[in-house]
Amino acid sequence: MVRDNNMIPVTMALLMHVLLFGALFVAVDLRARATPVVPLAIKGTLIPEDAAVPPPKVVEPPPPQPEPEPEPDTSEQDRLRAEEQKRLEDARVEQDRLNRIKKAEEEAAAERQRVTDAEKRRKDEEVRKERERQEAERLRLAEIERQRQENERLRDAAEAARQAELDAESNRLVAMQADAKAAYVYAIQQRIMSRWVQPPTATAGIECIVNIRQLPGGEVVSVKIGRCNGDEAVQRSIEAAVRAGSPLPSPKDPSVFSRDIQLEFRPTAE
């Protein structure tokens, strides 16, 4: 026997409907059993027969109720509020981020300013120390120059004092030598005058320059008459007197001795 395959789904469907109705019946029966029976309270009033029966009250039908307005659709407003709230939250987050960035920039700027101020103070301190060093060096050099000038002044003063002493000693020696030489020349003049034989042609006021060369010990080696206002006889007489006085007197101070002596011959000076 061949089974029709199309009957299988139909059979299954009928079976499912039967089971579904059975389940609904059982559920309704169980609900009816579980519901308690509540007695109804009936309240009545006896009306006498001769009492007037009020006319029946006409109950007017209630006015038609207006149809409830449909609730407004707030989904768009909720969306806008959500978007606004999100925008505000995003703005708050962004503002917090900007505040953090600003604070970081301010702290960085403050740190840079601190470093700049510290560097400026360091440079100012270096400049101050350099100025102090230069001032100290200037004062040191000025003190060295002052000391040098003072030493030079003292040295010049000492040199001037020494030179003054030397000059004074020299002048003293010159004066002594001048006195000694004057005495020496005077002694020679006296020796020559004592040997002079006045010629007949000699007149008053004779003045003659006599140049004498002598050896150590006073020996005369030459006599020359220079400027002279006397005649030849007078000049020969003077030369003869010089030679007659040889050897000439020696000086008391040997330092004034000179080989060449120039003296003035003035017979009238006696």
Residue labelled with tokens 């100290």: 136
The mean pLDDT value for 41-62 works out to 58
The mean pLDDT value for 139-158 works out to 94
| Domain boundaries, position 116 | 80-270
The mean pLDDT value for 80-108 works out to 93
Residue 16 confidence (pLDDT) above 90: no
Residue 113 lies in a domain: yes
Residue 161 lies in a domain: yes
* Nearest-5° Cα angle at 187, 184 to 191: 140
Q: Is the pTM of this model over 0.75?
A: no
pLDDT band at 96 (very low <50, low <70, confident <90, very high): very high
pLDDT band at 255 (very low <50, low <70, confident <90, very high): confident
Residue 41 lies in a domain: no
Residue 33 lies in a domain: no
113: CATH = 3.30.1150.10
Residue 62 confidence (pLDDT) above 80: no
Residue 31 lies in a domain: no
Number of domains in the chain: 1
Q: Give the pLDDT score at 26.
A: 59
Name the packing angle between helices 232-244 and 75-195 (round to 10°): 90
